[in-house]
Amino acid sequence: MLGRVNHIAIAVPILNEAAAIYRDTLGARISQPQSLPEHGVTVVFVELENTKIELLEPLDDTSPIAAFLERNPSGGIHHICYETRDITAAAEKLKATGARILGDGSPKIGAHGNPVIFLHPKDFNGTLIELEEV
Ligand code: CO
């Protein structure tokens, strides 16, 4: 079911400060900020050789990551995204094992234009998992 790590997402309170840390302190290549209103976030991609890091800042208080930042005011790892070949098959298999898929359980179009699902962290060792069909 799992392929490569597509990205690791880190929720941050102040996006331009977080981006500057990756660019200036860590010497990484970063993208311009992109607003994704349908996901409630602005994102900067840190482009690495083998994967990417997504720095996520909430667009407003209704953002899905706003509550996470309330619990983790300095930011923190929010989710890990693994690639999968057939998201529908993966979702069916996971549901059959009793794993909980967030939302209505069906794949949604994610930040990169591909279908994604999110799996409940309580079923996966406290880690929010995103599966993305690639
Ligand atoms: Co993601």
Burial (Cβ within 10 Å: 0-12, 13-18, ≥19) of residue 71: exposed
Q: Which residues surround ligand 1, an ion (CB under 5 A)?
A: 9, 81, 130
Q: Measured in angstroms, how far is the CA atom of residue 84 from the centroid of ligand 1?
A: 13
Model pLDDT, residue 64: 85
Q: Measured in angstroms, how far is the CA atom of residue 79 from the centroid of ligand 1?
A: 7
Q: Is the predicted pLDDT of residue 111 greater than 90, yes or no?
A: no
Residue 74 belongs to what domain range? Answer: 5-133
pLDDT band at 127 (very low <50, low <70, confident <90, very high): very high
What's 87's domain CATH number?
Answer: 3.10.180.10
Mean pLDDT of the chain: 95
Question: Mind listing the pLDDT tens digit for each residue in 4-31?
Answer: 999 999 999 999 999 999 999 999 999 9
Q: Measured in angstroms, how far is the CA atom of residue 78 from the centroid of ligand 1?
A: 9
Enzyme catalytic residues? 130
Burial (Cβ within 10 Å: 0-12, 13-18, ≥19) of residue 23: middle
pLDDT band at 46 (very low <50, low <70, confident <90, very high): very high
Q: Measured in angstroms, how far is the CA atom of residue 27 from the centroid of ligand 1?
A: 23
The arithmetic mean of pLDDT across residues 54-71, rounded, is 94
Total domains in the chain come to 1
Q: Measured in angstroms, how far is the CA atom of residue 104 from the centroid of ligand 1?
A: 18
Q: What is the C-alpha separation between 39 and 49, in angstroms, rounded?
A: 26
Question: Residue 43 forms beta bridges with which residues?
Answer: 34, 56
The better pLDDT of the pair 36, 52 is held by 52
